[in-house]
């Protein structure tokens, strides 16, 4: 990290700000994962980290390395694209599995078979009685 001193002050500030922002957002997401009560609530919290959290850190990385190597560094866009595409897959699979498990165990707060589709995860998943 020898070239760090060569960074102009405005860029350094910007990078620092973005990195911190991303880290804080991710931290909030993690706290949410820890604090929220039901699975269906918790599943949302980490997305803070995978969207804006990751986004700002990637942006910071783009600026940092572009300044350092005096050329446009855009690898991070690829990372962002893949995170955006793959995260929902995790969400869908997890939510579906949780839903079935709760139903099988007869948990109270799970929507029952009122619709045609047995696994309407998109419905009122947070509906607790």
Partner 1 sequence: MNGDVLLILIVVLPFVGSVLAATFRPNARNSEAWLAGGVALACLILAAIAYPAIVEHGAIRSESEWLPTLGLNFTLRMDGFAWLFSVLVSGFGFLVVLYARYYMSPHDPVPRFFAFLLAFMGAMLGMVISGNLVLLVIFWELTSIFSFLLIGYWHHNAGARDGARMALTITGIGGLGLLVGVLLIGHIVGSYDLDRVLAAGDQIREHDLYVPALILILLGTLTKSAQFPFHFWLPNAMAAPTPVSAYLHSATMVKAGVFLMARLWPVLSGTPEWFWIVGFAGMASLLVGAFFAIFQHDLKGLLAYSTISHLGLITMLLSLGSPLGAVAAIFHMINHATFKASLFMAAGIIDHETGTRDMRRLGGLFRYMPITATLAMVASAAMAGVPLLNGFLSKEMFFAEAIETHAKSVLDTSAPYVAVLASAFAVTYSLRFIHTVFFGPKPTGLERQPHEPPFWMRFPIQFLVLACLVVGTIPALTVGPFLHTAVISVLGPNTPFYSLAVWHGFTLPLLMSAVALVAGVVLYLLLNGYLNRSEAGPPFIRRLQAQRIFERVLVVLSWKWARSIEARLGTRRLQPQLRLLVVAAFIAALLPISLDDLSLTSLRISEIDAVFVLIWVSGICCAVSAAYQAKYHRLAALILLGGAGLSTCITFAWFSAPDLALTQLLVEIVTTVLLLLGLRWLPKRIEEEGPKTVSLGTRFRRVRDFGIAVAAGGGVGVLAFVAMTSPVPLETVASYYLEKAYVEGGGKNVVNVILVDFRGFDTLGEVSVLAVVALTVFALLRRFRPAADSIAVPDQQRMQNDFDEAEPDRKVGDTIADYLLVPAVIMQWAFPVIIVLATYLFLRGHDLPGGGFVAGIAMAAAFILQYMAAGTRWVEERLRILPVSWIGLGLLLAALTGMGAWLFGYPFLTTYSQYVELPTVGATPLATALLFDLGVLGIVVGATVLMLIALAHQSTRGLRSARVATEAEQEEA
CA–CA separation, 126 and 3 (whole Å): 50
Among 35, 75, 96, 128, binds partner 1 (CB under 8 A): 96
- Cβ neighbours of 9 (radius 10 Å): 7
Buried/exposed code over 23-34 (b: 16+ C-beta within 10 A; e: otherwise): eebbeebeebbe
Which of 77, 97, 126, 127 is in the footprint of partner 1 by CB under 8 A? 97
Shortest Cβ distance from residue 115 to partner 1 (Å)? 11
Q: What is the rounded CA–CA span in Å between residue 50 and residue 19?
A: 14
The region of 18-26, 46-54, 65-73, 96-104 touching partner 1 under the rule CB under 8 A is 96-104
Which residues of the shown chain bind partner 1 in the complex (CB under 8 A)? 85-86, 88-89, 92-93, 96-97, 100-101, 103-104, 116-119, 121
């Amino acid at each position: 990290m020898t070239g760090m001193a060569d960074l102009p002050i405005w860029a350094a500030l910007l990078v620092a700000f973005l990195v911190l922002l991303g880290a804080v957002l991710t931290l909030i997401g993690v706290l949410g994962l820890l604090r929220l009560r039901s699975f269906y609530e918790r599943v949302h919290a980490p997305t803070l980290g995978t969207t804006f959290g990751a986004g700002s850190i990637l942006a910071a990385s783009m600026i940092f390395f572009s300044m350092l190597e005096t050329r446009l560094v855009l690898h991070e866009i690829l990372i962002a694209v893949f995170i955006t595409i793959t995260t929902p897959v995790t969400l869908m699979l997890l939510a579906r599995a949780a839903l079935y498990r709760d139903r099988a165990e007869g948990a109270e707060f799970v929507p029952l078979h009122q619709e045609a589709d047995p696994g309407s995860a998109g419905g009122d998943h947070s509906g607790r009685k």
